[in-house]
Amino acid sequence: MSNRYDEWFKLRVVQQCLREETSLREVARQHCLDASTVRQWLDNYRQHGVTGLRKKYTHRSAAFKLAVLERMWRDGLSHRQTAALFDIRERRAIGRWERQ
């Protein structure tokens, strides 16, 4: 997720997705955003509310990373679903952990 957008902009985009009959892709296009970015914001909002849209800087332990990966593998979750569930905002973190 890009750091260029503050939580209020993200909230407006998410609310537009939730209240309008416009598709997520159309909302993304209207704001010159990638649809996957908007989908991630929407997932984070649904899972964690407004706090899911805030910037978050966290150091995660190896034990936490392993627990996240094990849950993802056990439940057959996608990287995106896992990131939303554990409030992991860095888009490529889970894939990087998996490769490591």
pLDDT at 12 over 50: yes
Provide the 8-state DSSP code for 5: S
- Cβ neighbours of residue 61 under 8 Å, at least 6 residues apart? none
- pTM assigned to the model: 0.61
Phi-psi region of 56 (alpha: psi -120 to 50; beta: other; left: phi over 0): beta
Query: Is pLDDT of 1 > 60?
Result: no
Locate the domains of the chain by residue range: 7-52, 62-98
* pLDDT given for residue 3 in this prediction: 58
Using one digit for the tens of pLDDT, what is the confidence trace for 58-82? 788 999 999 999 999 999 999 989 9
Task: Note the pLDDT tens digit of each residue in 25-61.
Answer: 999 999 999 999 999 899 889 988 998 888 777 788 9
9 vs 50: CA distance, rounded Å = 11
